[in-house]
Amino acid sequence: MISQIVSLLIFIAISLPANGQDLIQRLIQESEFQLARIELYRHLENADTLAQPKTLAAIAYTYQLENQHLKAKTLYRRVLQKSDLLSHSYVDSIKTNLCFSLIELSEFGSAYGLFSNLENDHIIPVKQRFFILTAERPSELSQVVFNSEELESLERLADDLKSPRKAAILSTIVPGLGQFYASHAVDAAQSFLVVGAGILYSTVAYKAYEQDNLGLGLTSLTIGTTALFHYANILSGQRTAIYRNMKLKQDYLEQSNLDFQPLDLSTSF
C-alpha cells in the first residue's frame, strides 16, 4: 500500500510540468516503467487508428526495458498484425526489437526466420548476438555480420563449447563422466560416488534377495532409488554442458561489448 502511494506521488510530481509524451519520456528516464505504461494505456484509449499500434509498440518497449520479454513479444506481434498502417522503416524497427526479445527467450528459430530478411543497420548487433548465442550451430549468414577476425574468434568459441547430448551419453555410460567432460570435476566426483554407491548397494540387495535374506520391497526400493539417482546424473551432465556453454557465450558477449539496447519506440506514437 505504501509503495503504491509513493508511486502515485511520483507520478503526480513528474506529471505536473509536462505534456503526455514528455511525461512518458521522463518516466522512462527515471525507470518508472509501470507508471509510463499507465500513461501509455491512457493515451491508447483516445488514440486514432494509426496511433494505436505505435502506442502498443511503446508499451512493448517499456516491457523490454524491464526484461519482460514474453509480454514484449506478445505486444510486438499484435502491432505487426497492423503493419499495413505503418511505414516500412517503423516495421523494421519493431521487428528488430522483437528479434531481440525472441533471442532473450531462446526462441532462436523464430528470431532467425524474422531477421534473415532485415538489412537495416540496427539489426546488425542483434544478428551478432544471435550468432554468438548459437555459436555451436554454424551458419553462412554469420559471414555477413562479422569480419574475418571476428569469425576466427567465433570459431574458437564454438570449438570450446561442449555438446549437451554427448555429455548426457557419457553420463549414461559412466556416472559423472558427462560432468567431467563439461569441465566440472567436483560435480563429476559427486555423481560418480553417489550413483556408484547406489549401484553397489543395489547389487548387494539383489544378491541378498536371491538368497532369501531380503524382501522384494526393500530390494526394489534400493534399485529404484539408484535408477532415479542415475537419471538425475544424466540430466545433470546435460545441463552442466548447457550452463557451461551459456556462461562462455555470455562472457564472450561482454568482452565483445555487444550490449544491444532496444530501439526507443516511445517517441513516435
Cell 567436483: give the residue. 186
Q: How many CB atoms lie within 10 A of CB 125?
A: 18
Q: Render each residue's pLDDT in the chain as its tens digit; 269 residues.
A: 555 544 554 554 444 444 567 888 898 889 999 999 999 998 888 878 778 999 999 999 999 999 999 999 999 999 999 988 899 999 999 999 999 999 999 999 999 999 988 888 888 889 999 999 998 887 776 677 888 888 889 889 999 999 999 999 999 999 999 999 999 999 999 999 999 999 998 888 888 888 877 788 888 888 899 999 999 999 999 999 999 999 999 899 888 877 778 999 888 76
In a 13 Å sphere around the CA of 242, the CA atoms on its Cβ side amount to 10
The C-alpha cell at 243 is 550452463
- Distance, in Å, from the CA atom of 237 to the CA atom of 252, rounded to the nearest integer, reads 23
Cell 551459456: give the residue. 246
